[in-house]
Amino acid sequence: MSAQLLDGKAHAKTLRDELKGAFASYSAQRGVAPTLAVLRIGADEASAGYARALEKTCQGVGAGFQLVELPELITQADAVETLAALNSDDTIHGIMILEPVPNHIDHPALIDLLNPAKDVDGVHPLNAGRLLANRPPFFVPATPAGGLRLLENAGVEFKGKHAVIVGRSDIVGKPMALLLLHRHCTVTITHSRTIDLPGVCRTADILCLAIGRAEMIKGDWVKPGAIVVDFGTTYTDAGLKGDCDQAAVAEVAGMLTPVPGGTGPMTNVLLMENLLRAAQLVA
């Protein structure tokens, strides 16, 4: 068996082209472009690189972009004041707080103060709770939303399938589990302390990997014909790797999101979709 590879790069391009028109229409009607503010605290180079990628993504669809950079030694009170100003700024429709932040900054406290209506990355407890209860409106974190969109685009039937999630993070594993549960899958969440993890993985019709360990999941962990969604992005000497041994898994799985080129390209495009919806909800 050779798995069907789900091309996230191609689908992201299609979505991006559609969003260009939608952003242009909104901007023409409202006289302002939906705008993303990115709050970056400290000098972490990875977050700086991500901010540049977000700016490029915004430019690509016609969204506004505002980078707010705060110094490494800023106080919690000053960071809160900056966030409060973004929360109340009517020209800002979405806000992201980049990680990591300096050790003395209470990141969860900042998240709690984020305006839920501008939380386009779906990290505020109100959005997480609404997702749990399936009570719209809410914003879904862009990475699992992008993975789900690839499955929907491939015509995957969810009802009654057993989905196994490897990883329990608040931004990928848990929301992906809820998205699949709301589509009538039977869902098992696994993690580093799960007993017989390979055996549990082999029961999955849909296997979602978000553990952050390069090539951890082997071919013999996968049920023949299973759908494998690999959210892993680990940089190694051999390049970017996912959480599964792609060559081995591709020989067993029915569908597979490759790394690179699978879920990764979808993430920022789905973030732009969230940004447009945030602007529309307050229009």
Return per-residue pLDDT of the chain as tens, 283 residues: 699 999 999 999 999 999 999 999 999 999 999 999 999 999 999 999 999 999 999 999 999 999 999 999 999 999 999 999 999 999 999 999 999 999 999 999 999 999 999 999 999 999 999 999 999 999 999 999 999 999 999 999 999 999 999 999 999 999 999 999 999 999 999 998 999 999 999 999 999 999 999 999 999 999 999 999 999 999 999 999 999 999 999 999 999 999 999 999 999 999 999 999 999 998 6
Residue-level pLDDT at 283: 67
Question: In the prediction, which pLDDT does 282 show?
Answer: 86
Domains of the chain: 31-117 (3.40.50.10860), 141-264 (3.40.50.720)
According to the model, what pLDDT value does residue 1 have?
60
| Cα Rg of the chain (Å, integer) | 19
For residues 128 and 170, the answer to whether their CB atoms sit within 8 Å is yes
Query: Which string of DSSP letters, residue by residue, matches 192-219?
Result: TT-TTHHHHHTT-SEEEE-S--TT-B-G
Give the other-Cβ count within 10 Å of 28's Cβ: 9
Exposure class string for 71-83: b at 16+ Cβ within 10 A, else e: eeebeeeebeebb
Cβ atoms of residues 39 and 98 within 8 Å = yes
Distances (CA, A) of 41 to 106, 117, 119, 142, 208: 11, 22, 18, 22, 32
Pairing, β 4-5 against β 255-256: parallel
Q: What are phi and psi of 222, to 5 degrees?
A: -110, 130
CB atoms within 10 A of CB 60: 17
